[in-house]
Copies of this chain bind each other. A is one copy, B any other.
Amino acid sequence: MASCNHDSCVRKVPIFSDLDNEKITKLNNLVKNREFKNGELIYMEEQIGENIYIIESGLVKLYRSNEAGNQYILRLLKEGDFFGELVLFKEEKLSSSAEAVGDCSICLIAKDELEKLIKSSPELSHKLLSAITSRLNKTENKLQSLALEDAKEKTMRLLLELAKESGIKKENGILINLPLSRDGLANLIGTTQETLSRKLSELQNEGIISMQGQKEILIKND
């Protein structure tokens, strides 16, 4: 666990990005860096959360499992996103697990230290509040989607979301690089890989999307 001397990691994060230099320096001293290999667990539900995590590079999936061993992926996080924040100001068990999707470089800040910093910085706490509020809003969107939409609608919504997050604009549409296997993607929308596969085929037959290999999908214009 090396200390994170380059401050890219901190500046990369929207909620920290425009703090004054003094605060940034303080933060940098608190930040540790760790590498995780594909599939490695960053933390596990039921543990006590001791850090807040920031993704310097790579992807992380946050998921929950139930007694039956089924998992549901709450969110897929990328460079600059932070997670583990649910334990701030609480002595609580983590309610989700975090796992590296591909190799990742993660920065971590001890929860206690960050709490101190937040308490002493109105602007930081304000930014955090705003970030978590927006997180809550997105989560409520998903809730609505799961409750009201059928598999096809959820599939389309997933594609549009991925396009918005990291789609590449082409002359004939938006190209998406799928970050997960069919199974993982299906899991993101609360369905099975088979159903997702069928819905993708349907969408392709209808001329709405075009699959290019297994890892790329083009959402066509109009």
Show the binding face of A for B, using Cβ within 8 Å.
Answer: 64, 66, 68, 70, 72, 74, 85-86, 88-90, 95-96, 118-120, 122, 125-126, 128-130, 132-137, 139-144, 146-149, 190
Contact = CB atoms under 8 A, between A and B. Distances in A.
Given A136-B136, A141-B95, A129 B128 contact: yes
Given A72-B147, A122-B122, 18 more contacts: A64-B140, A86-B136, A88-B133, A89-B129, A89-B130, A119-B126, A125-B125, A125-B126, A125-B129, A128-B129, A135-B136, A139-B139, A139-B140, A139-B143, A142-B143, A143-B146, A146-B147, A146-B190
Contacts of A137: 86, 95
Nearest to A137: B86
A120 B89 CA distance: 19
Contacts of A139: 136, 139-140, 143
* Copies of this protein in the complex: 2
A148 B66 contact: yes
A139 B96 CA distance: 13
A148 B88 contact: no
Contacts of A133: 85-86, 88-90, 132
A88 B144 contact: no
A132 B136 contact: yes
Given A64-B140, A72-B147, A95-B137, A130 B90 contact: yes
Contact of A148 (B96, B140, B190): B190
20 contacts: A64-B140, A66-B149, A70-B148, A72-B147, A74-B140, A74-B144, A88-B129, A88-B130, A89-B129, A95-B137, A96-B140, A118-B126, A119-B126, A122-B125, A129-B132, A132-B133, A135-B136, A139-B139, A146-B147, A146-B190
Contacts of A144: 64, 66, 72, 74
B130 A132 contact: no
The 5 closest A-B pairs by CB, nearest first: A147-B190, A72-B147, A146-B146, A89-B130, A64-B144
